C-alpha cells in the first residue's frame, strides 16, 4: 500500500492502521524521515514532482512484491474569497492536489494493470459538492472536485481490468491544534467533528469491499446530505 501525505494527520493515522493490519506500507511526505519499521518504507518528496512518484514506485514499492492500493491523501487547503487567491495559491493547490494525483496514480496503475488488480483511494472534501456559505474555498472545490470526477472515470475505464477507484469525501476532521476547531462542532448534522479513526474506518471498509468502485464515500457527519 502507498499512502501520501503520511507524516501527519490522516495520512499518519492510515499508515499506523494499515501497518497494524499487516500491510507493507510505502509512506510519503515532503518532510518524512526514515522508518525503523521493516514493513514501512518512507519516501520523502513533493508529490507534485514526477521524480517523487518515480522514487515512490521504484524505491518504495520495489521493496515489496506488489501494490494493492494507493491512497492519494496528500493535499492542501487554502480558504479565501475567490478574488483574493494568488497565482501562487492556485499553483500550490493544483500541484499538490491534482498534479500529485496524476503522476503517482498513473505509475501505480501501470503496475496494477500488470498485476490484474488494484485499488485507488482519493481523499477529497464534501466542500467540493456542498460549498459552505461563509467558508469560501473555490480552489478546494476545483481540485478535490476534479479528483471525485476522476475517481468515477477511473472506475469505469479500469474496472474491467480489475482495478477499483473510490473517493473518501471528508467533512471537518480534527488533525490540527484542538483550539483551532472552537465553535465548529455544529458544522454538520451530527454536531461533532470527525476523528482520524473515522477516516481510517472508511478506507479500511473500501479496501475490503471488493464490489465497490466509483463510490464517493462521505465521511462528513452528514454534511453531504444537504442543508441543516
Ligand atoms: N482535516 C480535514 O478537516 C480535511 C477535510 C477535508 C479534506 N481533507 C483532506 O484530507 C487529506 C489529509 O488532510 P490532513 O488534515 O490530515 O492534512 P495535514 O494534517 O495538514 O497533513 C498533510 C500531510 O500532507 C503532507 N503534504 C503536504 N503537501 C505535500 C506535498 N506537496 N507532497 C507530499 N506530501 C505533502 C504533509 O507533510 P509534509 O509537510 O511533510 O509534506 C502532511 O503529512 C488532504 O488531502 C486534505 O485535503 C482534510
Read off the pLDDT of residues 40-85 as tens digits, 9 standing for 90 and up: 999 999 999 999 999 999 999 999 989 999 999 999 999 999 999 9
Show the ligand 1 pocket: residues with CB < 6 angstroms. Answer: 4-11, 28-32, 46-48, 73-77, 96, 123, 125, 170, 172-173, 175
Q: List beta partners, residue 28.
A: 4, 43
Q: Whose CA is nearest to atom 2 of ligand 1?
A: 173
In the DSSP assignment, the letter for residue 57 is I
Cβ neighbourhood burial of 60 (10 Å; 0-12, 13-18, 19+): buried
Q: What share of the chain is helix, strand, coil (3-state, %, to 5)?
A: 45, 15, 35
Of ligand 1's listed atoms, the one at least distance from the Cα of 199 is 10
Strands 69-72 and 216-219: unpaired
pLDDT score recorded for residue 38: 96
Quick one: pLDDT at residue 228?
Answer: 76
Domain enclosing residue 180, as ranges = 2-225
Q: Residue 5 C-alpha to ligand 1 middle, in angstroms?
A: 5
What average pLDDT does range 186-215 have in this prediction? 97
- CATH of residue 21: 3.40.50.720
pLDDT above 70: percentage of residues in the chain? 100
Tally of domains in the chain: 1
Per-residue buried b or exposed e for 5-26, using 16+ beta carbons within 10 Å of the residue's own CB: bbbebbbbbbbbbbbeeebbbb
Determine the distance separating the centroid of ligand 1 and the alpha carbon of 121, expressed in angstroms: 14
**Percentage of residues in the chain having pLDDT higher than 90:** 94
Distance 11 CA to ligand 1 centre (A): 7
Question: In this structure, which residue's CA is closest to atom 37 in ligand 1?
Answer: 29
Amino acid at each position: 500500500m502507498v499512502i501520501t501525505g503520511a507524516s501527519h494527520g490522516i495520512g499518519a493515522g492510515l499508515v499506523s492502521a494499515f501497518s497494524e493490519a499487516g500491510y507493507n506500507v510505502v509512506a510519503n511526505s515532503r518532510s518524512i524521515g526514515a522508518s525503523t519499521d521493516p514493513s514501512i518504507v518512507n519516501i520523502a518528496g513533493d508529490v507534485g514532482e514526477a521524480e517523487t512518484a518515480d522514487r515512490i514506485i521504484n524505491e518504495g514499492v520495489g521493496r515489496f512484491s506488489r501494490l494493492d492500493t494507493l491512497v492519494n491523501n496528500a493535499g492542501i487547503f487554502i480558504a479565501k474569497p475567490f478574488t483574493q487567491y494568488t497565482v501562487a495559491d492556485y499553483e500550490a493547490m493544483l500541484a499538490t492536489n491534482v498534479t500529485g494525483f496524476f503522476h503517482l496514480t498513473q505509475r501505480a496503475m501501470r503496475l496494477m494493470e500488470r498485476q490484474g488488480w488494484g485499488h485507488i483511494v482519493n481523499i477529497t472534501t464534501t466542500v467540493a459538492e456542498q460549498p459552505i456559505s461563509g467558508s469560501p474555498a473555490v480552489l478546494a472545490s476545483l481540485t478535490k472536485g476534479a479528483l471525485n470526477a476522476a475517481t468515477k472515470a477511473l472506475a469505469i475505464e479500469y474496472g474491467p481490468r480489475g482495478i477499483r477507484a473510490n473517493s473518501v469525501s471528508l467533512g471537518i476532521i480534527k488533525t490540527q491544534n484542538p483550539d483551532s476547531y472552537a465553535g465548529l462542532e455544529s458544522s454538520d448534522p451530527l454536531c461533532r467533528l470527525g476523528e482520524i479513526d473515522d477516516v481510517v474506518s472508511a478506507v479500511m471498509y473500501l479496501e475490503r469491499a471488493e464490489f465497490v468502485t466509483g463510490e464517493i464515500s462521505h465521511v462528513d457527519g452528514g454534511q453531504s446530505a444537504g442543508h441543516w
